Amino acid sequence: MSTTSAIREKNGVRQTQERPHRRGLSRKHREWIAGYLFLAPDLLGLLVFLAAPMIISLGLGFFEVDGFGNFSFVGLNNYQLMFSDQQFLTSLRVTLTYVFLVVPGIFITGLLLALLVKQKIPFVGILRSMFFIPNVVSLVVVGFVWKFMLADNIGLLSQLVQSLGLGVISWLGDPRFALGTVLCVVIWFSMGYNMIIFLAGLQEIPREYYEAANIDGAGAWTAFWNITWPLLRPTSFFVLLTLLVTSVSGQGGFDLIYVMTKGGPANSTSLGIFYIYQQAFLFGRYGYAAAMASFLVAVMLVATIILFAVTKGGRFDFD
């Protein structure tokens, strides 16, 4: 008892000696102020350039904006227009097809590559890098490279297909193939990035589990479904969530579509975000574009809620 008070007194003396109460603020309050000051620049920026536009976006859909920046309230007009706009409905269908194919496509290729490069094989570091490289190149460049390889008659891939006797297939010019072609490029671009995330998840799984399974005579297939898949759930959830958010909003997809197809042929690759961009910046229909963006946000929220419900927040507990 006496020793603790002595220490406290000593500390108190030391404190008053070295740091007299400069601004009449206690240490606790100064920490409060410092905390807010340290946060201020980023918090302000996030509020102004992310949160505010998000909220404005939801409200802007109820307005008509003309070229001079005058807003006029039009109620639900934009939303009614949306569902009678054939081109919007097409772009919605394209977006949903894109999401339903690109999410599992990237998920599976990323996971398979991670399982491959997790093995003890020679030059594994270099092989991992090779799978990742497409991801550091911009999507604009990626779009051109593939467009060049697929170009009718002169492109390497179209020549290859022709030499196989399959005739001339216009990969980007035929409405039946264009979206599929763009999808393959997106998967090629993104698989390496997701491979790294999966690899990090796989390396978290203790090796003893596999050794135990091996001693019990379990094959690779059994080991995958009983050890890898259940223990990889947090990583799988993270990957699925980010893929859903990016694919519904069309992040990245926009660049490729802009460069490779411009939404065509016959609107077969007109992703939601691409149509929104056209309406806003080619035709100046900001209100209408914002209404459609809000609709995409709603789709994204529904998809996220379904993902959370199915996986119970990333735990995938079906039993």
Partner 1 sequence: MISTNMRSRSEYLRPKRLIVFLITLVLALLTIFPLLWMISAAFKGPTETSSNNLIPLAPTFANFTYVFTQVPFLTYMLNSFLVAVSVTVIALLFHSMAAYALSWLRFPGRDVIFLGIFSTFLVSLPIILVPLFILVKTLGLLNSYGGLIIPAIFNAFGIFLLRQFYITIPKELGEAAVLDGCSLWQVYWHLILPLSRPIMSALAVFFFLANWNSFLWPLTITSDQNLWMVQLGIASFQQQYSSSWNYIMAASTVAALPTLLLFFFFQRQLVESIKSSGIK
Pick 1 or 110: Cβ nearer partner 1: 110
For the bound state, the minimum distance from the C-beta of residue 116 to partner 1, rounded and expressed in Å, comes to 5
Tell me the closest approach of the beta carbon of residue 146 to partner 1, in angstroms: 6
Q: How far is the CB of 223 from partner 1 (least distance, A)?
A: 14
**Taking the complex as a whole, how short is the minimal distance between the CB of residue 266 and partner 1, in angstroms?**
20
Phi, psi of 64 (to 5 degrees): -110, 130
**Min separation Cβ 190 and partner 1, Å:** 12
Closer residue to partner 1, CB minimum distance, 1 or 120 = 120
At 244, which amino acid appears? L
Smaller CB separation from partner 1, 235 or 267: 235
Retrieve residue 278's tokens.
């056209």
Angle at the Cα of 89 (from 289 to 285), degrees rounded to 5? 20
Dihedral pair phi/psi, residue 252, rounded to 5°: 85, -50
Taking the least distance from each CB to partner 1, the nearer of 6 and 51 is 51
Exposure string over 202-233, b if 16+ CB within 10 A, otherwise e: beebeeeebeebeeeebeeeebeeebbeeebb
Q: Which C-beta is closer to partner 1: that of 9 or that of 31?
A: 31
Q: Is 160 helix (H, G, I), strand (E, B) or coil?
A: helix
- We find the least distance from the C-beta atom of residue 2 to partner 1, in angstroms, to be 24
Query: Can you read off the two tokens belonging to residue 191?
Result: 């698989």
What's the CA gap between 141 and 126, in Å, rounded? 23
The amino acid at residue 201 is G
E-strand spans in the chain? 63-65, 71-73
Q: Which is nearer to partner 1, 101 or 127 (CB)?
A: 127
